[in-house]
Structure 1
């Protein structure tokens, strides 16, 4: 996130978020195509492979527009078709963005959330450092893992029918990423995390006699190509004079229970809407 990902040409977060904001301004949400969009590597997990069944075909239109991405091929072609900012600014940008995990935790959720589009989150099993702060129905729309196609179609139909609510959800997710996951807070979080880990140590760390000191130059100077470009681009130009932010105290059991109940109630409400819609459709057949 700090330095980006050179192996797939993803720019540092501070740079990329500005490009995503530019794309959001260029194509307004209501002017985007009324479908759900996903582009990625479908071969890394069963869940992603299963998602590809929801693509438009001669027989079904689940309101999803899905594209397989081969990163090895992209690398050979100079990453012409994998610019993350393009998902927001091109004319064919879609109103909704799908997030589905790969082999494990995936970094793509923050890019998807930052696009001013309602993020459709297929049920997740892994957490990013910020994901527990997201609320279904406010920052994203939950998608059932065991019935992705019907769930995606319902979400898109609902959003196109309730455009003000859907647009507000997209803005809430995007604002959360821009304001709550800005790099200043990320660095503060890293500091507090390291401090807490240090408290668990049962020994006093010492510098070995033959240790080699790493500094900015020793990291960036030997690098070449895109690796060096992203390292230099992500380099901080000054030190922060202000004290790091204070981490709020942990939730007490009652507060935590209230948050979990709110999330559970939203999930149950949306699932009941989906079941009701499915029942109505079966009666019409």
Structure 2
């Protein structure tokens, strides 16, 4: 076997992780709002021509000119470097290096979203009729009354369009591409019924559901529907009339190969994940963003705050210098195989991995005693986290990324709505299944020897889920998906004769214990006060090719480091 050169390895890996910008330097944010401000500043009269003291004015003008020159040079380098790591190329439509911070855009009063179980909390279905149209929240004063959410002409403030959405939003176009030319007919949607767990219809801002014979695993369907109701409450009057079929399972439902001759004949089906190499599906945020009571995982927004506090409490250098994974392996061959990489001191094998099997006592979830063992924050005690799929993908990926520890991700073709935006070598370290044990050992050894680069990758991953995947972006993704999807419908959805109306009260009020607690934690209390981010255009063929080439380059460098 060819031995790797340590010096060469260090040089190769240095190109995988983005460098920290020099002190005082700005990261380029190619954003319409920023571009507006930048163009305005360029038309402002130069200060060195308006000074009252010649010497001081010349000096200030020179300093300002040099500062702008340095900034321009750094920005140019930053665009090239970061675009290479993102795998989108310098000609990409990527609008920013990091999502802009979210702050209130106006002083307009917040519009509360009404919610009340009343005296009767057991007959939830009747609560929707009591709610009535009159109690629906009004649009925020800062929002346009238009129902179109994807137009760049909607403003955060006068004259400034909303910022671009994160790049992973561009995959919305990819998901809907099979029906772009022909549209979606009612007949095509009916063909999706045999794959779906439920059918959901939105008409005039009200939701109706028809459940089919296939049972949903745990409360996936309930919390998914709860999330859709929060979207309707957050954007009153903005969600178009729409009809969707939703599958809550993990494995492939609609194979692209079955519709190769006519992709538009594929039934449109909403799912949490898909095999991007052989499946047709429209991806949707999974149920756990609003809570996973069966294993005591809180909703994403409050849980993310806990991750931030835990990362500040336990610094990376003080964590255990190993790669960690904990989870269920029953009837999951890919996880059983991973378990071979566990430390085996008796056999003299040290793969730098600490793997723990944790089997649920029942399919309904964990017991009270098991809940004490499943504190999701405990995983942050380790410098590295391993991500491995289950039957398909795993909702654990966002929690693994949130730890500020580099994610060592075992290769999988299954992706969810946001993981298509993750970049190998920047947000995570890819691990090939064929050599997983030595690959994990290499990643840990290299990271421990290069802590600055390892911590940078960990921060990139956690920064992605914290800043580009906060709940505001999750709802905006949902809104854009439904808006683009509704535009393809070739019929007008109507209230189903055998459907049941849903409202927040009808779902939450009859629930008990942890389920209701999580719903209250994830309930939207105010109407959105700003326009949603602007949906970027689809990826071009050149951009797709560039992304593939750049990921292949990262993997090639890793193979060289492994001595292949």
Same fold (TM over 0.5): yes
Aligned structure 1 segments of 4 or more residues deviating by more than 4 angstroms: none
**Structure 1 position 46 matched with structure 2 position 333:** yes
What aligned pairs does 1:112-127 form with structure 2 within 5 A after superposition? 112-127=400-415
**Structure 1 position 147 matched with structure 2 position 439:** no
Contact 1:23 1:86 in 2 (8 A): no
Task: Give the whole-Å Cα distance in 1 for the aligned partners of 2:330 and 2:499.
Answer: 42
**Structure 1 position 162 matched with structure 2 position 450:** yes
- Deviation of 1:267 after TM superposition, in Å, equals 0.9
Counterpart residue number, 2:229:
none
- Deviation of 1:168 after TM superposition, in Å, equals 0.4
What aligned pairs does 1:1-150 form with structure 2 within 5 A after superposition? 1-57=288-344, 58-59=346-347, 60-72=349-361, 74-88=366-380, 93-150=381-438
What aligned pairs does 1:181-196 form with structure 2 within 5 A after superposition? 181-196=469-484
Query: Greater RCO between the two (CA within 8 Å, min separation 6)?
Result: 2
Counterpart residue number, 2:148:
none
**Structure 1 position 269 matched with structure 2 position 557:** yes
Name the SS for the 1:37 alignment partner: strand
Task: Count matched residues.
Answer: 272
Q: 1:221 to 1:162 in 2, by over 3 A?
A: same
Counterpart residue number, 2:460:
172
- Deviation of 1:56 after TM superposition, in Å, equals 0.9
**Structure 1 position 235 matched with structure 2 position 235:** no
Task: Give the whole-Å Cα distance in 2 for the aligned partners of 1:108 and 1:162.
Answer: 26
What whole-Å deviation, never above 9, does each CA across 1:138-194 have from its counterpart, x for those lacking one? 110011111211111111111111111111000110001100101101100001111
- Deviation of 1:199 after TM superposition, in Å, equals 2.6
Task: Give the whole-Å Cα distance in 2 for the aligned partners of 1:211 and 1:122.
Answer: 42
What TM-score does the superposition give when structure 1 sets the normalisation length? Answer: 0.92
Q: Relative to total residues, which structure has the larger helix share, 1 or 2?
A: 1
1:254 alignment partner, one of 542, 546, 555: 542
Stretch of structure 1 that moved more, 206-215 or 55-64: 206-215
Counterpart residue number, 1:282:
none
- Deviation of 1:133 after TM superposition, in Å, equals 1.1
What TM-score does the superposition give when structure 2 sets the normalisation length? Answer: 0.47
Unaligned runs of 5+ in 1: 277-285
Task: Give the whole-Å Cα distance in 2 for the aligned partners of 1:38 and 1:241.
Answer: 40
- Deviation of 1:210 after TM superposition, in Å, equals 6.5
* Coordinate RMSD, CA, aligned: 1.4
Task: Give the whole-Å Cα distance in 2 for the aligned partners of 1:235 and 1:138.
Answer: 33
Counterpart residue number, 1:279:
none
Name the SS for the 1:10 alignment partner: coil
Task: Give the whole-Å Cα distance in 2 for the aligned partners of 1:230 and 1:203.
Answer: 36
Name the SS for the 1:62 alignment partner: coil
Name the SS for the 2:289 alignment partner: coil
Name the SS for the 1:121 alignment partner: strand
Task: Give the whole-Å Cα distance in 2 for the aligned partners of 1:161 and 1:56.
Answer: 20
Task: Give the whole-Å Cα distance in 2 for the aligned partners of 1:44 and 1:202.
Answer: 43
Task: Give the whole-Å Cα distance in 2 for the aligned partners of 1:239 and 1:210.
Answer: 30
- Deviation of 1:95 after TM superposition, in Å, equals 0.4
Stretch of structure 1 that moved more, 138-147 or 192-201: 192-201
- Deviation of 1:209 after TM superposition, in Å, equals 5.2
Unaligned runs of 5+ in 2: 1-287
- Deviation of 1:76 after TM superposition, in Å, equals 4.2
Name the SS for the 1:35 alignment partner: strand
Contact 1:55 1:62 in 2 (8 A): yes
Task: Give the whole-Å Cα distance in 1 for the aligned partners of 2:498 and 2:331.
Answer: 41
Task: Give the whole-Å Cα distance in 2 for the aligned partners of 1:189 and 1:241.
Answer: 16
